[in-house]
Structure 1
Amino acid sequence: MGDSSAAPYIHMVQHLIEKCLLFHMTKEECMEALSKHANIKPVITSTVWNELEKENKLFFEAYSKKIREEGISEMETRLMIQKMVSESSSRDSDDLSLKKKEKGVGKRC
């Protein structure tokens, strides 16, 4: 790729990275998405991302912090949902056992 075509290509990669940022993607998620959907090599995405980080240090520090917090929050939410589902399944199973016992008791009378 010659210099004349490199600048527009890099600009396009930068634009796509900015779209990834809007979706709160990590660098790795962005690299994977651009590789899969735009056929951009991960090393190119990583290089452009690193340059953007250098030029916008404060933004990326805040962005990284927010992404980490969202990741923790998302993990906590998943654990809460799993616990609720587990408890609900356990209660449903207990209710079913109780109903079977009640039906069995009624038949004996």
Structure 2
Amino acid sequence: MGESPASYIRMVHHLIEECILFNMSKEECMEALSKHANIEPVITSTVWNELEKENKEFFEAYGGRSMRDEQERGSRVETRQRIQKMLSDATSKLHDAQHH
């Protein structure tokens, strides 16, 4: 891992926020972070649960919306490509910031 546990948790927190911007459900977020950022689903789930506890009103309103309105956001392939690029960019920036 190479970084402190706190910075790793902050990175996961940031990536979850990015997933939320794509209206991903918790399960979709866990899958995306596992596949594209090598983050264990249990870690994503734990951080997500803590965010839910701290932000109850937001998550009640968010309601775990998923990508069911695909026509508004383009095809699933395009969305996956955007998610992959976002995760790659975010992890690179965080990695660079930790080593400077």
- The structure whose Rg is larger is 1
SS in 1 for 2:19: helix
Q: Are 2:85 and 1:48 aligned?
A: no
Aligned-pair CA distance for 1:47: 0.1
Aligned-pair CA distance for 1:57: 0.2
Higher helix residue share: 1
RMSD in angstroms over aligned alpha carbons?
Answer: 2.4
* TM-score normalized with structure 2 length: 0.63
Aligned equivalents of 1:15 and 1:41: distance in 2?
15
Deviating beyond 6 angstroms after TM superposition, the runs of 4 or more aligned structure 1 residues are none
Structure 2 gap segments, 5+ residues each: 72-100
Equivalenced residues, count: 70
Aligned-pair CA distance for 1:26: 0.2
Larger RCO, structure (CA 8 Å, separation 6 or more): 2
**Identity value in percent:** 72
Q: Are 2:6 and 1:7 aligned?
A: yes
Aligned equivalents of 2:20 and 2:51: distance in 1?
12
* TM-score normalized with structure 1 length: 0.58
Aligned residue type for 2:35: K
